Amino acid sequence: MSTPQRIRRVVIVGGGTAGWMTAAPLAQKFSRQLPVDGGPPTEVVLIESPEIGTIGVGEATLPTIRAYNATLGLDGADFIKRTQASFKVGIEFKDWKQVGERFFHGFGDFGPAINNLSSIQYWLHLRAVAENMPPYEDWSTSSVMARQMRFTPPTGEAAAPTNAYSYAFHFDAGLYAAYLREYAMGHGAQRIEGTITEVHQRPEDGFVTGVTLKDGRRVEGDLFIDCSGMRALLIGDTMQVPFEDWSHWLPVNRAQAVPSKRVEPLTPYTTSTARTAGWQWRIPLQHRTGNGHVYCSGFISDEEAGRQLIAGLDSEALDSPRLIKFTTGVRRECWRKNVIAVGLSSGFLEPLESTSIQLIMDAVGRIIQFFPETDCAPVLADEFNRRMSTQYESIRDFIILHYKLTQRRDTEFWRHVSGMAIPERLAHQIELFRRSGRVAVYDPDGFQEPSWQSLMLGLGIQPEAYDPMVTVIDPRELLAHFARVRASIAQTVAAMPTHADFIRANVRAD
Ligand code: FAD
């Protein structure tokens, strides 16, 4: 067996959000490389096929997108302008618990912990002993900002209760990919336009050595990143890694997407509204609103789903709805031999909590962390695969939670999803919270305690108990503390600019 050597060329197959989100940090990293072997730096080559195109959706993100942008050194104002971005402090869920009810999943905590205990534990205690305790969302700065359509980034003292929030972005997926393309090519990445028709493997071990394009050109490499979307050209067709179907837990399998006109006031959050056999997203951008209806074809026709989508818009549609079909699930391995799947080729989870771009960012971070030599040591692939599976499964469970806890029984779809069997670990989570108000966090890269609390309280679980240590503080003292924090949050938010004004003031008008 030959000695492992430095990877000289990385080939990225696909130029959607996943492809360019992978190319940008790799190009940045290798443009600074001074190889110890004295050879040229590792090349990053991306192949994209204009005739196949990209999926063209994926516009809501989670707060870690900021760390990704910061690592690339992107200028915040320029990014917001070029991608028509808006700010996002969380997701509003309408009609999920019951028709006519809403709750908010905000980015951030419910005020600071007290004696190392989540403040929700104290709120549960006060709700049991005090009269007319206001809703827990009053202690979530992001929820209060959402109600008032205001936005400014956290400033000042990090530990202040009013700073216990975070934010992400909504952006135009096509513009973001183009923005990253410019960045990646500016850092030396090469772009090849063409459609791959053949993949070549080394006979002795099955490693991919190159691909042939429709026009006969051949592109060779040492490491191949499969960003070919749901086609899964390399990880599926070539490597034959099985796809684990999760549609028995998450049965929605179609979406129709349509842009509509911008709506005032500009909301600093995504909205998810439950419909009769799925749910509808609303994503506010500077130049338009993104909308889509995600549904299960076993319970509603495409025609009816399209009608519901259009009827649910709050501004004029700018196009006709576009149909997208999918199956929820994941590849058994995201890395096999010298092929690593990133993006939709690795799996799909419905965009209810905006997690796909997060999974892309984390996969790219892990590729850099576990960057191999030419032998692609199986132990690196094993660790990468272990972390990807953990993350996919923890997000999967978080999404199933939304369906399982609904109190809706008004359609066959809601009766089906509320009655379905769920993964054991999720059943434990729900029971733990119901009995004790406590939360188990299984994945350091997944949703943390405040997110689980928001969802379980928002969907109507009333914990029977709470942490007994909360009673070490006199309830009158606690009530006074909670009143102070609530007033301080309300006052801080009232002084913030509106979301639209903040964008206007912070984006250069050149
Ligand atoms: P694609 O965009 O499909 O790109 C595939 C690329 O591979 C293209 O460039 C194509 O040309 C190329 N390709 C394919 N075959 C070949 C070939 N033979 N030769 C050469 N090139 C080829 N995620 C979020 O985080 N937030 C959201 O709000 C969100 N909303 C979504 C809504 C819906 C309805 C869906 C379906 C997904 C959503 N996602 C969301 C997921 C998000 O869209 C994707 O994770 C993201 O766009 C990445 O897609 P991709 O780059 O993997 O695939």
Q: What is the ipTM of this complex?
A: 0.99
Contacts of 152 (CB under 8 A, 6+ apart): 496, 497, 502
Contacts of 30 (CB under 8 A, 6+ apart): 41, 42, 43, 44, 188
In the beta sheet, which residues pair with residue 256?
293, 323
Write down the pLDDT at residue 130: 92
Residue to mutate, 55, 214, 340, ligand 1, most ligand atoms under 8 Å from C-beta = 55
Write down the pLDDT at residue 163: 82
Q: Which numbered atom of ligand 1 lies nearest the CA of 18? A: 51
Strands 208-213 and 218-220, bridge-based pairing:
antiparallel
As averages over each run of 10 residues, the pLDDT of the chain (510 residues) reads 87 98 97 88 97 94 96 94 97 98 94 88 94 94 97 79 89 96 98 98 98 98 98 98 98 98 96 98 97 98 98 97 98 98 98 98 98 97 98 98 98 98 97 96 91 97 94 94 94 96 80
Write down the pLDDT at residue 159: 64
b (16+ CB within 10 A) / e for 32-49: eeeeeeeeebbbbbbbbb
Ligand 1 site residues (CB inside 6 A) read 13-19, 47-49, 52-55, 57-61, 173, 195-196, 227-229, 231, 233, 255, 257, 292, 324, 326, 343-345, 351, 354, 356-357
Residue to mutate, 228, 353, 399, ligand 1, most ligand atoms under 8 Å from C-beta = 228
| Cis upstream peptide for 259 (omega within 30°) | no
- Catalytic site positions: 88
Residue to mutate, 13, 51, 54, ligand 1, most ligand atoms under 8 Å from C-beta = 54
Cβ atoms within 10 Å, residue 70: 10
Q: Where are the beta strands (DSSP E) in 109-266?
A: 168-170, 190-193, 196-201, 208-213, 218-220, 223-226, 243-245, 254-260
**Closest residue to atom 39 of ligand 1, CA basis:** 58
Q: What is the DSSP string of 127-147?
A: HHHSTTPPPGGGG-HHHHHHH
| pTM, to two decimals | 0.97
* Radius of gyration, CA atoms only, the chain: 24
Contacts of 496 (CB under 8 A, 6+ apart): 145, 148, 150, 151, 152, 502
**Alpha carbon of 127 to ligand 1 centroid (Å):** 45
Contact status, residue 470 vs residue 117, Cβ threshold 8 Å: yes
How many residues comprise the chain? Answer: 510
**Alpha carbon of 343 to ligand 1 centroid (Å):** 7
**Alpha carbon of 451 to ligand 1 centroid (Å):** 26
**Alpha carbon of 344 to ligand 1 centroid (Å):** 6
| SS3 per-residue string spanning 327-393 | CCEEECCCEECCEEECHHHCEECCHHHCCHHHHHHHHHHHHHHCCCCCCCCHHHHHHHHHHHHHHHH
Distance CA 93, CA 406 (A): 11
Q: Which numbered atom of ligand 1 lies nearest the CA of 290? A: 28
**Alpha carbon of 81 to ligand 1 centroid (Å):** 23
Segment (H or E) for 416: helix 412-419
Write down the pLDDT at residue 201: 98
Contact status, residue 171 vs residue 183, Cβ threshold 8 Å: no
**Closest residue to atom 46 of ligand 1, CA basis:** 17
In order of 88, 228, 269, 381, 408, the CA distances from 272 in angstroms are 13, 28, 10, 36, 15
Q: Which numbered atom of ligand 1 lies nearest the CA of 270? A: 28
Distance CA 292, CA 315 (A): 13
Q: Which numbered atom of ligand 1 lies nearest the CA of 355? A: 25
**Alpha carbon of 468 to ligand 1 centroid (Å):** 48
Q: Which numbered atom of ligand 1 lies nearest the CA of 257? A: 34
Domains, the chain, in order of start with CATH, read 9-83+172-245+328-393 (3.50.50.60)
Residue to mutate, 46, 57, 325, ligand 1, most ligand atoms under 8 Å from C-beta = 57
Q: Where are the beta strands (DSSP E) in 232-321?
A: 243-245, 254-260, 270-274, 278-284, 289-295
